Amino acid sequence: MKLSLEGKVALVTGGSGAIGQQVCLYLNRAGVKVIGASVPFDLESAEILRREAMDAGIEIDVVAFDAADFEDTGNAIAGIKEKYGRIDILVNCAGITRDAPLRKMTNHQWQQVMGVNLNSMFNSARHVVEGMVEHGWGRIVNVSSVNGQRGQFGQTNYSASKAGVHGFTMALAQEVARKGVTVNTVAPGYIDSPMIQAVPEKIRESILGDIPVGRFGQPRDIAAAITFLCSPQASFITGAQIPVNGGYYMGH
């Protein structure tokens, strides 16, 4: 099955992260003009995204803005629309961890995670959804986490934000279902990425032992699911949360 996304324009927040980069590459290979968003205070990550794209022989426009900031996001999206005319696909990949048991968690750690993981989704969707509705076609994919489905020791902030991601998805999916716009969530399990490398080795090894397929996921495993959800072939899937976790968690 060839996924036909020729000529669509996509914005991928967190485009310079491990998963975001692969999403940019996959969408581009499916014919999408991709704008990968990185953060303005991390110019190194923008450069990495540009280099990755160049190495893969593809063209990605990199725009730097703070996805946790409503106005900054709005200004960046206005600039993208001016340049490309519209945004057909929005993939919300921006996400961070600030792990600590609640008894040690600071207000700053809580607010940072809520800002990047949860508020960013509102900030970007609020600025693109109207255009999608006007065009009668759109795809929004939000990245949550298995830890938003089952909770994780040391992640009250992250688990709450990622559970919130899917609540947002289900509500918005209902609001735009009649307008040709689908809204879905992809819930990654433990993916081979810097985020996992930051977990103490002993805990990492024990998590690996609990993954039935016997390996950590690869960023491309997530990118493939997201690309499918963005395709016209997925037009009857909306408000869904697709787990991509190697069997680590099989509940809802």
Q: Give me the residues that bind ligand CAA (CB under 6 A), please.
A: 97, 99-101, 104, 145-147, 152-155, 158, 188, 190, 195-196, 199-200, 203
Q: Which is nearer to ligand CAA, 145 or 182 (CB)?
A: 145
According to DSSP, residue 191 is labeled B
Closest alpha carbon to 86 in 130, 140, 29, 21: 130
Residue 103 beta carbon to ligand CAA: minimum distance, rounded to whole angstroms: 9
Q: What is the DSSP string of 5-21?
A: -TT-EEEEETTTSHHHH
Residue 224 beta carbon to ligand CAA: minimum distance, rounded to whole angstroms: 17
CA–CA gap between residue 25 and residue 15 (Å, rounded): 10
Alpha carbon separation from 17 to 23, 98, 193, 205, 220 (Å, rounded)? 10, 16, 9, 23, 12
Residue 27 beta carbon to ligand CAA: minimum distance, rounded to whole angstroms: 21
Point out the catalytic residue in the list 26, 84, 158, 190: 158
> Does residue 158 carry a catalytic annotation?
yes
Six token digits for residue 207 = 């998590």
Q: Which is nearer to ligand CAA, 73 or 155 (CB)?
A: 155
Residue 196 backbone dihedrals phi, psi, to 5 degrees:
-80, -35
Q: Which is nearer to ligand CAA, 200 or 209 (CB)?
A: 200
Q: Which is nearer to ligand CAA, 32 or 118 (CB)?
A: 118
Nearest residue to ligand CAA by CB is 154
Q: Which residues are catalytic?
A: 158
